[in-house]
Amino acid sequence: MRLSARNNLKGKIIKIVPGAVNTEVHLQLAGGETIVSVITKESAAGLGLEVGKEAYAVIKASSIMIGVDH
């Protein structure tokens, strides 16, 4: 797989929550962190997502903001 996005994180699907239109996908990374992505139900089916299967979180953004509490 080759992508233009520079930030892709490999992990294992640990939970899938299907909804009426979208599906929530929980991906556990190697360090134990979890990323949650909301994709269309159609995309989830087309990718053949299953708990335990490896997948990638692909992050593409022209800007990422950082905030802190004072």
Domain residue ranges of the chain, discontinuous segments joined by +: 7-59
Tell which residue, 42, 38, 36, has the closest CA to residue 11. 36
Alpha-carbon distance values, 33 to 11, 27, 38 (Å) = 9, 8, 17
pLDDT at 63 over 90: no
Q: Which CATH number fits domain 7-59: 2.60.40.10, 1.10.260.40, 3.40.50.150, 2.40.50.100?
A: 2.40.50.100
- Per DSSP bridges, beta strands 7-18 and 34-40 are unpaired
pLDDT at 64 over 70: no
Q: Give the per-residue pLDDT at 16.
A: 97
